[in-house]
C-alpha cells in the first residue's frame, strides 16, 4: 500500500484482529472493525473507508443492509465479500468476492490491489478473484 488505506472489517472479532495485525505488518493503515449492522451505523462521522470486507460470519440478514449503507456513506469504497454470501447480493452491492477459505495473507494482497485500483481510477471498479483461493 503506497498510501494509507482505510479498511473496514465486518465480522467476528478474532478474524477482524487477524486482518488488522496482517495489515499493520505490511504498512500502516486506518482500520475500523464492527461485528453487526448497528455497530456499522454507529461509526463516527469522521470515519473514512477505502475498502470494506465482509467476513462470512457477518449476519446474512444484515449483509444487504450493510452493503447498501456502505454504498451510500462511502460511495467510492470497494466492497469485498468473503464466503458464499455474495450470492445473496445484487452485483452493484459488492465489487469482489472470495471463498471463505482465503488466507489472511492473500486477503491483504486483495485489499492492497483493490485500494490501488480504486485510487488509479478515482471510482469504484469491479474485480474478480478467480485464483485468490486460500
Q: Where do the domains of the chain lie? A: 6-121
**120 backbone dihedrals φ, ψ, rounded to 5°:** -60, -40
Return the C-alpha cell found at 32: 475500523
| In this structure, CATH architecture of domain 6-121 | 3-Layer(aba) Sandwich (3.40)
Indicate if the pLDDT at residue 126 is higher than 60: no
Assess contact for 53 and 82: CB atoms under 8 A: yes
Q: How far apart are CA 21 and CA 73, in angstroms?
A: 26
Q: Enumerate residues 6+ apart whose C-beta is below 8 A from 58.
A: 10, 11, 35, 36, 66, 85
Cell numbers representing residue 20 in the block? 488488522
C-alpha to C-alpha distances, 58 to 28, 39, 63, 107, 120, nearest whole angstrom: 25, 12, 7, 16, 30
Q: What is the pLDDT of residue 26?
A: 64
Task: Output the CA angle 39-103-56, nearest 5 degrees.
Answer: 35
The DSSP secondary-structure symbol of 9 reads E
Distance CA 102, CA 40 (A): 24
> Could you read off the pLDDT of 79-108 as tens digits, one per residue?
999 988 878 777 788 898 888 889 999 998
pLDDT in tens, 24-56: 876 656 889 999 999 999 999 989 999 999 998
| Total-model pTM | 0.83
Amino acid at each position: 500500500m503506497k498510501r494509507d488505506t482505510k479498511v473496514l472489517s465486518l465480522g467476528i472479532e478474532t478474524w477482524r484482529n487477524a486482518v488488522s495485525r496482517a495489515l499493520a505488518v505490511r504498512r500502516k493503515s486506518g482500520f475500523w472493525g464492527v461485528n453487526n449492522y448497528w455497530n456499522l451505523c454507529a461509526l463516527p462521522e469522521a470515519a473514512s473507508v477505502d475498502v470494506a470486507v465482509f467476513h462470512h460470519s457477518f449476519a446474512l440478514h444484515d449483509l444487504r443492509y450493510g452493503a447498501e449503507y456502505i454504498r451510500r456513506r462511502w460511495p467510492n469504497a470497494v466492497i469485498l465479500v468473503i464466503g458464499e454470501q455474495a450470492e445473496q447480493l445484487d452485483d452493484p452491492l459488492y465489487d469482489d468476492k472470495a471463498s471463505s477459505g482465503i488466507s489472511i495473507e492473500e486477503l491483504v494482497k486483495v485489499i492492497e490491489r483493490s485500494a490501488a485500483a480504486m485510487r488509479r481510477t478515482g471510482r469504484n471498479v469491479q474485480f474478480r478473484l478467480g485464483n485468490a483461493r486460500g
